[in-house]
Amino acid sequence: MELHPETNTSSRQMRFYAIIMVLFVAVFGLGYGVGEGRVKLESGKLNISKGSVATSADYSLLWEALDAVNGKYVDRPLDQQKLLYGAVDGMVAATGDPYTTFFDPEEAKQFTEDLRGFFSGIGAQIGMKDKQIVVIAPLDGTPAQKAGIAPGDAILAINGETTEGMAVDVAVTKIRGPIGTKVTLKILPKDQNEAKDVTITRAKIEIKSVKLETKEVNGPAAAGGTSKKIAVIKLSEFGEDTKGLLDQAVGTITTGNYSGVILDLRNNPGGYLDTAVTTISNWIDADKVAVKEIGYNKKENDYKTAGLPRLKGMKTVVLVNGGSASASEIVSGALQDYKVATLVGEKTFGKGSVQELQDLKGNTEIKITVAKWFTPKGRGIDKTGLEPDINVELTADDIKNEKDPQMDKAMELLGK
């Protein structure tokens, strides 16, 4: 095939700069791996060892593919930054782990906004279960909740595009959008066989992660039936504002003559690990194991409680359901192991893998699964979830009739 001289020169320059960019990312990662002793370069091939198992790859294939696309694609020149993001995204997705994800600059910004409690979307936390995109929890008062989206609902398609094989964070990006615009989800409700299309108008989602309410329950007749004050702490997530707001709530409880606490973690999809540990520390003495982390080569790391346990000895019930995930399960599992709280509700989601967020070049980020969580007694959480001490179901009819048998059971236990 004949090439025009000017096209040939431009193409070579473009390929040169693209290869330099990809090499920068690759060399950075290789340097770390070589330092750890797990990565070796031999005759142009990449060898990564794990114990007695070794895998190798000839990375020149990547350069050949890049050269071929830039030299032959019909609508060239191609956006080299987009190609680079696609290459890194594909590499990360090849781990097969739905929670190990590459974020381009826009996706990284959205992820940060999530944990800060503000974003534009429908207000539903989603995850992966049995290789299917599912709703972990709709946030209170959001368009998703108002549209009837429930924990455990499967999302089969987004605006007509199937979610089969789609990564969780890709699905999140497609569901997001400007305030006032609409998104149509094909939903298969939990434990049902017929899917339906649900169109939802996106809105500004801004939620404080901690809400404190006071309820009253009459004590037993033998005690004269006197009324007791019960504090209800509703945690919607473990975000940036959680620790400060929870400290305020605990201060109110300790000075307010309360008889018991209900920690409502239903539909709480998780958040920051350190916030989960500080939450546990309100009930457990300092320097006790809050959660175990077991990572590469069975390396174990214990995260321990700290500070004064201001709610120690306070009769406590924790409410959980299928939307309680990750950090919620860490807190629930610890309080259950130490027998300082009774878990009431339904089996939790089972998201017990640990992600580490690392900044990369050009305002990009990578979220990597680095370990798995275990309760202080060594119980696994991932894919199994936690069983409540007292199983109480909350049905669709209960919600429709504004009944909450799980909360009723918690009040009954604390009224005894």
Catalytic center residues = 326, 337, 351
Supply 246's token pair: 């929870």
Supply 322's token pair: 């299928």
CB distance 57 to 41 below 8 Å:
no
Distance CA 214, CA 308 (A): 23
Nearest to 244 by CA among 279, 288, 207: 279
Mind spelling out the 3-state secondary structure of the chain? Answer: CCCCHHHHHHHHHHHHHHHHHHHHHHHHHHHHHHHHCCEEEECCEEEEEECCEEEEECCHHHHHHHHHHHHHCCCCCCCHHHHHHHHHHHHHHCCCCCCCEEECHHHHHHHHHHHHCEEEECCEEEEEECCEEEEEEECCCCHHHHCCCCCCCEEEEECCEECCCCCHHHHHHHHCCCCCCEEEEEEECCCCCCCEEEEEECEEEECCCEEEEEEEEECCHHHCCCEEEEEEEEECCECCCHHHHHHHHHHHHHCCCCCEEEEECCCCCCECHHHHHHHHCCCCCCCCEEEEEEEHHHCEEEEECCCCCCCCCCEEEEEECCCCCCHHHHHHHHHHHCCCCEEEECCCCCCCEEEEEEEEHHHEEEEEEEEEEECCCCCECCCCCCCCCEECCCCHHHHHCCCCHHHHHHHHHHHC
Phi, psi of 43 (to 5 degrees): 55, 45
Phi, psi of 211 (to 5 degrees): -130, 130
